[in-house]
């Protein structure tokens, strides 16, 4: 066993000279990371800073970040996805990074984009391919490049390009795996992994942003709660999606007003959240105006200036918001989802660690969060680094 210790440049030299497998070319391993959300960016950054230089990230969208995304709305930028750091603990790497880079006092929209920028600094721009959706991952193969090199994995992009790799880290959402899982992988995934993908939960939570010219709330109000005294949405057996507005129990006032203007944000989950994506903004605006007029008894309440509804369910590169352990699943299924391919079998000569899995849904304790996603990316990068450093 060879333990590599020393500087990054020494380690790079060792890795380039590695000749451990008959399928592996005499060069450093080539790693492709699929998806430039915080998990993928974290994985690529760790690989690059730890000495694996041949790393490429392939991202379907026109920008990195995935479910960390801001949009212009009103006077400023609002968060479409992640907004809060869950858990102010030094064990939370997102909190720790935000602290190190002096971002804890930043407004929400500046916190996560800035944090992502800090992580992206470890990745040279040419290593990030944007607007490159992939449509298939072919693994357990023997794909020849133009030269003498042979690779076990071939990534087929929607534009027809083929990218070869020794290892890929798949960090696309569980929603995308559910929608495309079978056709996405060739050969198809082992039954246990497919079953984990289908059984684990992936739900939708959307945000509804409302902008007013003049606020109808006073300056001390932070939260506006809507309490339905005669019924509770949870007592309704069959959901009536057209009454989606009963499922937005609370609106928060976005502060500071000088930066955002007079903006409220409400959240909506489940089937109603999916349904609201099909409505045009005008319909959402007039329903919210009606609701506030009804609850306050003030028919003179102002009309909205603008409205913005996130669409995480219809986004083809997320297909929902985040994962959960549904009643049909167990925590062990998260580990099955995270298990690399091919699975170790006695006597198998296939190169190991061809397809690795990262992303929030693969973290057993912190799934559904940004720190779970980041930790999962680091976990898979470390798996590869350890694989080579113990050869
Ligand atoms: C509305 C909402 C609110 C949230 N609030 C919080 C919060 O307050 N705090 C918190 O910690 N977390 C929050 N989260 C969760 C957090 O945003 C996610 O857990 C985290 O960002 C997921 O990161 P990821 O890298 O695993 O996945 P993603 O960010 O989804 O990254 C996956 C990437 O893969 C790309 N991709 C998908 N398909 C393909 C393809 N075929 N080819 C190439 N690329 C592809 C996607 O475009 C995406 O960039 C929230 C999420 C949502 C949606």
Question: Per the structure block, which two tokens stand in for 307?
Answer: 């409205």
| pLDDT value for 13 | 32
> Does residue 320 line the site of ligand 1, with CB under 6 A?
no
**Residues 24, 359 contacting (CB under 8 angstroms):** no
Q: Is the pLDDT of residue 45 over 80?
A: yes
Q: Is the pLDDT of residue 17 over 50?
A: no
* Poorest-pLDDT segment among 16-25, 147-156, 173-182: 16-25
Q: Which of 98, 163, 172 to mutate to test the pocket of ligand 1 (most atoms within 8 A of CB)?
A: 172
Please report, rounded to a whole number, the percentage of residues in the chain having pLDDT higher than 70.
Answer: 91
Mean pLDDT of 166-192: 95
Mean pLDDT of 287-292: 96
Q: Is the pLDDT of residue 18 over 80?
A: no
Give residue 386's pLDDT band: very low, low, confident or very high (50, 70, 90): very high
Cα of 331 to ligand 1 centre, how many Å?
Answer: 20
The structure's pTM equals: 0.93
Mean pLDDT of 27-36: 94
Mean pLDDT of 356-363: 98
Residue nearest to atom 6 of ligand 1 (CA): 82
> Does residue 173 line the site of ligand 1, with CB under 6 A?
yes
Write the CB contacts of 60 (distance below 8 Å, at least 6 apart in sequence): 35, 131, 132, 133, 134, 316, 317
> Does residue 368 line the site of ligand 1, with CB under 6 A?
yes
> Does residue 380 line the site of ligand 1, with CB under 6 A?
no
Structural domains in the chain, CATH included, are 8-201+318-389 (3.50.50.60), 205-309 (3.90.660.10)
Cα 376 from Cα 390, distance rounded (Å): 21
| pLDDT value for 109 | 78
| pLDDT value for 345 | 77
* Poorest-pLDDT segment among 15-29, 213-227, 242-256: 15-29
Tens of pLDDT, residues 114-143: 999 999 999 999 999 999 999 999 999 999
Q: Residues 248-260, buried b or exposed e (16+ Cβ, 10 A)?
A: beebbbbeeeeeb
Write the CB contacts of 370 (distance below 8 Å, at least 6 apart in sequence): 38, 68, 82, 85, 94, 112, 360
Give residue 237's pLDDT band: very low, low, confident or very high (50, 70, 90): low
């Amino acid at each position: 066993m060879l333990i590599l210790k020393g500087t990054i440049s020494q380690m790079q030299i060792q890795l380039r000279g590695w000749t451990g497998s008959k399928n592996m070319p005499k060069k450093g391993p080539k790693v492709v990371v699929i998806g430039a959300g915080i998990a993928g960016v974290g994985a690529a950054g760790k690989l690059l800073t730890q000495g694996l230089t041949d790393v490429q990230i392939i991202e379907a969208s026109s920008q990195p970040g995935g479910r960390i995304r801001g949009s212009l709305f009103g006077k400023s930028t609002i968060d479409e996805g992640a907004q809060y750091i869950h858990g102010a603990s030094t064990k939370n790497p997102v909190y720790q990074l935000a602290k190190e880079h002096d971002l804890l006092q930043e407004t929400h929209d500046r916190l996560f984009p800035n944090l992502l920028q800090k992580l992206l600094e470890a990745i040279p721009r040419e290593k990030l391919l944007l607007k490159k959706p992939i449509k298939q991952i072919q693994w357990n193969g023997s794909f020849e490049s133009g030269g003498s090199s042979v690779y076990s994995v071939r990534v087929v992009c929607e534009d027809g390009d083929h990218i070869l790799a020794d290892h890929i880290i798949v960090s696309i959402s569980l929603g995308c795996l559910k929608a495309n899982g079978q056709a996405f992988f060739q050969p198809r995934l082992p039954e246990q992994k497919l079953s984990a993908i289908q059984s684990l939960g992936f739900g939708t939570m959307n945000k509804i942003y409302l902008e007013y010219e003049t606020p109808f709330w006073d300056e001390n109000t932070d939260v506006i709660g809507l309490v339905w005294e005669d019924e509770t949405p949870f007592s309704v057996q069959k959901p009536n999606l057209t009454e989606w507005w009963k499922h937005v129990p609370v609106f928060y006032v976005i502060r500071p007003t000088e930066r955002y203007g007079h903006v409220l944000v409400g959240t909506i989950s489940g089937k109603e959240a999916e349904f609201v994506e099909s409505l045009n903004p005008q319909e959402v605006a007039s329903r919210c105006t009606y609701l506030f007029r009804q609850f306050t008894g003030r028919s003179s309440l102002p009309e909205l200036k603008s409205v913005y509804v996130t669409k995480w369910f219809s986004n083809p590169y997320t297909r929902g918001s985040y994962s959960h352990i549904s009643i049909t699943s167990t925590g062990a299924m998260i580990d099955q989802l995270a298990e690399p391919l091919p699975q170790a079998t006695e006597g198998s000569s296939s190169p190991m660690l061809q397809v690795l899995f990262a992303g929030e849904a693969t973290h057993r304790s912190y799934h559904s969060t940004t720190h779970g996603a980041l930790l999962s990316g680091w976990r898979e990068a470390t798996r590869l680094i350890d694989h080579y450093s113990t050869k």
